[in-house]
Structure 1
Amino acid sequence: MNMEAMICLILAVFFGIISIIFALLKEKGAILISGFNTMPKEEQEKHDKKKMSIDMRNSLFLWTTILFSGAIFGYFISKYCAIIVIVIWLIVFFKDVHIDAEKAFEKYRIQ
């Protein structure tokens, strides 16, 4: 197995396990989200933890699917397929990254 396909497989397994953890913890999984766990408790209570946890689980599952397909394509077709999939995953990943925690959790604010 080439290195690129192996990287995709390792990341897919890692994100798959974390996705399962979020699925099992349900709304308690929100505390594992970076930025949210550093907010004061009273600020955390103003957010929909269940929706946050579901969205994080779904994002992780999407990443798992993308990277697992990269492992398969990289193994059976070409290592360049795995490289392309890693680039696609990076684009999807950085689309969801927010520097400002308040802006990142704005859509989960309870009215």
Structure 2
Amino acid sequence: MSNSEGSETHDSMDEDITQVARTRRSKVWEHYEQDLFVVDGDLKAVCKYCKAEFQTKFGTSILRSHIADSCPSIEDACRKSFMSTMKNKQSEAPFVFDPKTCRF
């Protein structure tokens, strides 16, 4: 094993630690275990209710959809509460591009 190979491993570990240290702003994190873990180089979150594991590399949308739609173990009251917070957040008008009003 050369020094460069060892440093690549160390660098990738630093990236994982940096990702774990990021602030979790989404309410969805209330439904997942506090600690993430690494599997095959990817950070995974564990559902508190059914213990399913999800990759967090691309954000929280998969975590939200699991709680909102497919977790078999979540109580209805908890799911409804979560859905109400998501509806409030989604009620903001989405951006729609209008080329007629765009000036270059």
Q: Same fold (TM over 0.5)?
A: no
Structure with bigger helix share is 1
Normalized per residue, the structure richer in strand is: 2
Q: Which has the higher contact order (CA 8 A, sep 6+)?
A: 1
TM-score of the superposed pair, with normalisation by structure 1:
0.27
